[in-house]
A and B are shown apart, each in its own frame.
Chain A
Amino acid sequence: MTHTESKKDNLSAAIRGLTGENVARCYQCGKCSAGCPMSQEMKLKPHDLMRLASFDQADRIFGDESIWLCLTCETCSARCPNGCDPARVIDTLREMALARDPSRWPRAIGAFHAEFLKQVKNHGRVFELGLILGFKLRTGRLFDDALSGPGVFARGKLALQPHRISGIDEMRKIFEKCENVENRDLS
């Protein structure tokens, strides 16, 4: 039995333990998916994720990229008529997915998050030029319009030097403590 299988029966309980959210409260009205700006691109829409989570279908959720397409615009959670918080549940599912298998996230989205957090860890703030270059190198998307082109520099839109905060050691310690999965009781 794999690690994933041994845990799948406990998915709804694990979500409840981490967030206090009872996914079984969802009565499948679909209002979350109706207002979701990304649902037309998701195979599993927010209400599907809520249902699959309440049926402990971990493999079906983590085997699909839909959770990574959520933009956390919070429309679903603002509109749920039964007080559920799908945005929070999806964030938790993403964190659980990474704890199970960090290679599972869609490449470009994963590359963005990884590069973004690297910038914060190294400088304390995001150095946007470094973020863009790092993202391009990680994904090989060298010629996307990703905020590049001479226009950005002419407009002074991209700082050329990173600013490193003086509390950088404190920042690195924060990252180390938070990256320690033992610390985070993720099932």
Chain B
Amino acid sequence: MKIGYYPGCSLSSTGREYNESLQVIAPLLGVTLQEIEDWNCCGASSAHATNRQLSLALAARNLALAETQAIPEVLAPCAACYNRLASARHALAKDTRAFEKTREVLERPEFSNSVRVKTSVEWLRDLAPVIQKKAEETASRSATSPSVKGLKVACYYGCLLVRPPEVTQWPTQWDDPEDPSSMETVVRATGAEPVRWNRRLDCCGAGFSLSRLDSVARLGREILQEAKKAGAQALVVACPLCHVNLDFRQQAIARKAGGEFDLPVFYITELVGLALGASQAQLGLNRHYVRTDSVLERSP
């Protein structure tokens, strides 16, 4: 099986291990990733907060490239990139004027807006039966490798995986925008245990990661405290911006809150990789700020 791949800027830098773990698990799951050649930045919040036409054009150039490279479906693992690509695809399908204008800006009259965009969570959820089977095979083969079996994790969707509903439900709803379950399905397939908790869909403040640190600290603290209270040993995320705010900033947040969280933050692809027998180094776990090995040893 082949799927188009839009890594986005963070996955070659702060979110490197998200890309590394994805590249490790894709072949194990029988999937070939075809990276869109010469992709550009999706524009992120800076484009849509200041210039709507620019936000549509930047996202649409990638969709147009995918079309010319015969890629019908694109995996966008960063939740923010996914949101920009999927929002542009939706807006251009619903608004003829915006579609015409964008084709004109791009000077790509052949662009037909036909490419579908997927999050890594949707992609992995559809592969959950394969993940479960391979995870069980791996567990029976080697009892000594680090296991995620029984590890209690809080699935953190953040804001943009399942919102806004008009985008994530179009053309078909991939998960419920207020009570999603795909991440939990993937986690169960790995053998880990999702906990029930309250902040699954709250925003971590990603857009202010450089510009408004106090807001980011407040939002991060609320998420980490709730996860801890629900008995989670770790968090699972599917966005490099969430990862920066919850992993890189965790120590600073804890210092301000006068406590210690000690909650490792796994990318969902890393958790799947561990279940499939990949090593911590292969998956890039050594790049994390909050150490992951303690919970991996602890899990039975």
Contact = CB atoms under 8 A, between A and B. Distances in A.
Contact of A147 (B201, B210, B211): B210
B106 A174 contact: yes
B47 interface: yes
B208 A178 contact: no
B45 interface: yes
B52 A147 contact: no
Interface in B10-55: 10, 12-14, 16, 38-41, 43-54
A60 interface: no
Interface in A149-180: 151-152, 155-159, 163, 165-167, 170-171, 173-175, 177-179
A78 B178 contact: yes
Interface size class of B (residues with CB under 8 A): 35 or more
Given A38-B215, A151-B289, A167 B40 contact: yes
A95 B46 CA distance: 11
Contact of B49 (A41, A75, A91, A171): A91
A73 B163 contact: yes
A131 to B, nearest CB: 8
A119 to B, nearest CB: 8
Contacts of A104: none
Contacts of B289: 151, 155
A100 interface: no
B50 A95 contact: yes
A140 B194 CA distance: 43
A23 to B, nearest CB: 17
Given A71-B205, A175-B54, A113 B49 contact: yes
B10 A128 contact: yes
Interface residues of A, number: 64
B41 to A, nearest CB: 5
Contacts of A13: none
A116 B46 contact: yes
Contacts of B40: 120, 124-125, 165, 167, 171
Interface centre among A98, A135, A155 (most CB of B within 10 A): A155
B37 to A, nearest CB: 9
A145 interface: yes
A26 interface: no
Nearest to B252: A145
Nearest to A128: B13
A174 B44 contact: no
What are the 6 A-B residue pairs with the smallest beta carbon separation, nearest first? A73-B159, A73-B203, A178-B54, A116-B46, A74-B163, A126-B9
Interface of B: 9-10, 12-14, 16, 38-41, 43-54, 57-58, 61, 105-107, 159-160, 163-165, 177-178, 201-203, 205-213, 215, 219, 244, 248-249, 252, 286-289
